[in-house]
Amino acid sequence: MSVLLLAALAASGGLATTLLARRGRGAFLVGLVTSAACLVAAASIDAADVVPLAGSLLGGSDGLRVLAVAWAASTLLFGLIEALIGDGPTVLGPALIGLALGVVGLGESDPGIGLALVTAGAVLTAVVPLIGRIDIREAAPRLGLRTVRPVIASGVIGLLVVAWAASPAGPLGATGPVGTVDPSLGRAMGLALLALALAVGIRLGAIPAHVWVARYAEAMPASAVPPMMGWGSAAFALVAYGWIDVTISPIGAPLGQEHAAIAFIAALSIVLGGVAAILHHDLEHVLAYAIVQDAGVALLGFAASGATVTPAARDWIIGAVAVKAALAAWVLVMRATFGSNQRARLRGWMRRAPILGLAFGIILVAAIGLPTFAAFDARAALVRLAFPGPLAVAILITSFAPLVFLGRLLLDGLGPMSEAVRSASGAGVVLGWASAGGWAGDRTLRRAIPAAIRANRLALAAVAVVFAAAVGLSVAVGGLGSTTVSDGALGAVGRAPLTAGATRL
Amino acid sequence: MNPIVVAVAIAVTIGAVVAVSSRNARTALLGLAITVTAAPFLGDPLPQTSTLAMRVIGAALVAFLLRSAAASAVPTVNDPRPEAERLGSRVGWPAEALMAAAAWLVAIVVASRLAALEPAGPGDGASDILAMLGPAAVTTAAGLASIVVGFVPAFAGRDALRTAIGMLILIQGSFLLRAGVAGAPGDLEQIAGVALFVAVAVAGATLISIEERHEPGVVPGNASIAPLPRTQRRRDGP
């Protein structure tokens, strides 16, 4: 019931926020209250709480609770940042709807349902925020079409693969006992694996399907990036991991060539994504190519088999998404604070915005990771399992590119201030009656508090970024925790699932 | 062979061909409405009445959303492009119909020879064409035909309306193919399908309205849907 409650809250609140978007304050109020309620509901998700829903079963798990809490917290923090520095609640409503569809998709054990719902959420989070983008008026329709197409392509491929593979005509419908795989069925399973990896690669923006990610990130405010290319993509990948985990992996078919092909594409994304992030000097492109690089590591979850692969891939994807969501929040507030996204114009930023500096430091630690961090260990495990010895070392070293492209932003921040940074007001805190500026009217708390919030909006947004960074760090440290893959509840409704087992997160 | 199921499958395919090939927005949306409304009746067994009703209502909502967005668009009064370049298939409806027919043939022949899909079917060497038209085979055929004709407008459509129609046909085809090869979907899967349909329709309607707001004349709203240009309405009064 807890998952259903969360979904109902998020869907209704998201719809109301979207419909009220032109009434800025009212929409923000509804959206932020809903986000806070969703955070509470997400924290109450119980692994034993399974409810029948339309002939299927919807249930929670420890992993889903971790993901939902991080997703809801990110939505709430971006809503606050948007309220403080944005033009209107263009992203908050669709983000809540995406959260609702995502948690139902992940709480449901049938991957076909999961992929359909997650794709529906991604379509809405990609397009609806375009309504408020008057600054890209002529490019908006084309941007929307270019963004929706890969989302639909990945969703359709995923749906077809899952349906075909588990049908009587597919390889999973005809397998014998474990360990006795017919060679022709092995090839069919390899084909299913490749197709699903293709779908996930397109959805995550792995090279060569990365262009739409870069175009979307450069044209949209950074607040639109996490719901669309972060949490939504992670949900899609998690459904796919779950399907692989309960269908192809246990059969133990020899899939060396397929794994090698996927590992090659993943290596391309890791190397070229990192290089592209280093070569670009504007914050949005750095964010976009950091996501592309993370997609490469996430694809490694399809490039090897074994009991540790899927848990490692899950830990990686959720950690990477939480950290990049925090990075997106930092980019958003940096741009609002200094009016620029170019490195050259942001020299010395940390001197003017120390709170943002603190947030960035946390993000840097979380992105690079330390041994014992779940994301760090997951990345090392995925690379080690997918590549042979020396190549694994080279790919692993390349995957630490954030040390370069984020580290130099840190060094820029500590250097001498550029003219743009010097002339910006920064994110300093204005205290006392000074926060009310030159206004000399009614100095009651009722008037002073809004005035103080307005005067300190950049500082408050920076504090929200610190919280987002803390969420990212905690998820990167802990991963999905005790992820469960449940398959025991399906028999209760008397309907065979589409797959050989359940894929609930 | 169940003639009603075959007729519904043919109606779904004809609707898809009309939707992607018509140069008139109203006709294209009519074809889309026929496809998405008829498709739920291809399940074997049919879903519960409530689920079926929900799918039909969802299909109507999808068509209505796109029609509303296209109808509110300013007609293409000053658009210099020929009408054929704005909406409709470049290869024309006969070519689209032939592609759909080819997809039907492929799907029927393959499905009818897969004992897994048609256990009571003709198997190898079947010569009775009517026996090949089992429920799974015709559902698979309608799905494959929808995917074939919907692919190009979905991924190479020149405007939001055509792309949205193509995507909806493509998704409908995927669900039909899934139902054909893997059996009738459960109720929650049907609900998820409706959610995806409505999401794509909302996205399409949003993009059509943005396209029109920023590039007047690009949306192929067509005079048959849009009552009057805004400027003319203003001049003539309410």
Question: What integer pLDDT is reported at residue B93 of this predicted model?
Answer: 83
Nearest CA in chain B to A132: B210
Which among B61, B188, B191, B202 is the top mutation candidate for probing chain A, defined by the most A β-carbons within 10 Å of its own β-carbon? B188
Of B116, B207, B218, the CB nearest to A169: B116
Distance of CA B77 to the CA centre of its chain: 28
DSSP one-letter string for A69-117: HHHHHHHHHHHHHHHHHSSS-TTHHHHHHHHHHHHHHHHBS-HHHHHHH
Residue B51 touches chain A, beta carbons under 8 Å: yes
Chain A residues within an 8 Å CB radius of B50: none
Of A128, A138, A166, the CB nearest to B182: A166
Of B117, B186, B191, the CB nearest to A169: B117
Half-sphere exposure of A290 (CA within 13 A, CB side): 32
Q: In Å, what is the CA distance from A463 to each residue of A360, A367, B15, B124?
A: 11, 19, 55, 70
Asked if A126's CB is within 8 angstroms of B193's CB, the reply is no
Q: Which residue's entry shows tokens 């084309």?
A: A142
The answer to whether B54 and B37 are in contact (CB under 8 A) is: no
The answer to whether A132 and A20 are in contact (CB under 8 A) is: no
pLDDT tens digit sequence for B47-74? 888 888 998 999 999 999 998 888 876 5
Chain B residues within an 8 Å CB radius of A125: none
Between CA A397 and CA A380 the distance in angstroms is 10
pLDDT tens digit sequence for A426-481? 656 665 555 555 555 556 776 777 777 888 888 899 999 999 999 999 999 988 75
Helix (H), strand (E) counts: chain A:
23, 2
Between CA A315 and CA A167 the distance in angstroms is 30
Name the residue among A31, A34, A28 with its Cα closest to residue A83.
Answer: A28
Question: What integer pLDDT is reported at residue A405 of this predicted model?
Answer: 92
Nearest CA in chain B to A169: B116
Assess whether pLDDT exceeds 90 at residue B133. no
Chain B residues within an 8 Å CB radius of A54: 51, 186-188, 191
Question: What integer pLDDT is reported at residue B90 of this predicted model?
Answer: 77
**DSSP single-letter state for residue A482:** S
The answer to whether A384 and A494 are in contact (CB under 8 A) is: no
The amino acid sitting at A394 is: A
Of A110, A152, A173, the CB nearest to B154: A152
Nearest CA in chain A to B170: A156
Question: What integer pLDDT is reported at residue A484 of this predicted model?
Answer: 42
pLDDT tens digit sequence for A54-69? 777 787 888 888 999 9
The answer to whether A170 and A500 are in contact (CB under 8 A) is: no
Asked if B210's CB is within 8 angstroms of A55's CB, the reply is no
CB pairs under 8 A between A and B: 139
Between CA B196 and CA B192 the distance in angstroms is 6
**Considering only A453-457, B173-177, B197-201, which range has the smallest mean pLDDT?**
A453-457
pLDDT tens digit sequence for A237-257? 999 998 888 888 777 777 788
Contacts (Cβ under 8 Å, ≥6 apart) of B15: B31, B32, B33, B34, B35, B38
Asked if B195's CB is within 8 angstroms of A120's CB, the reply is yes
Between CA B62 and CA B68 the distance in angstroms is 10
How far B14 CA sits from the closest chain A CA (Å)? 22
Asked if B193's CB is within 8 angstroms of A56's CB, the reply is no
Judge if ipTM > 0.90: no
Those residues of chain A that have pLDDT short of 50 are 482-502
Question: What integer pLDDT is reported at residue A244 of this predicted model?
Answer: 86
Q: Which residue has the higher pLDDT, A208 or B88?
A: A208
pTM as predicted: 0.87
Asked if B116's CB is within 8 angstroms of A127's CB, the reply is no
The rounded radius of gyration (Å) of the Cα atoms in chain B is 19
Sign of the Cα torsion A59, A63, A67, A68 reads positive
Nearest CA in chain B to A120: B196
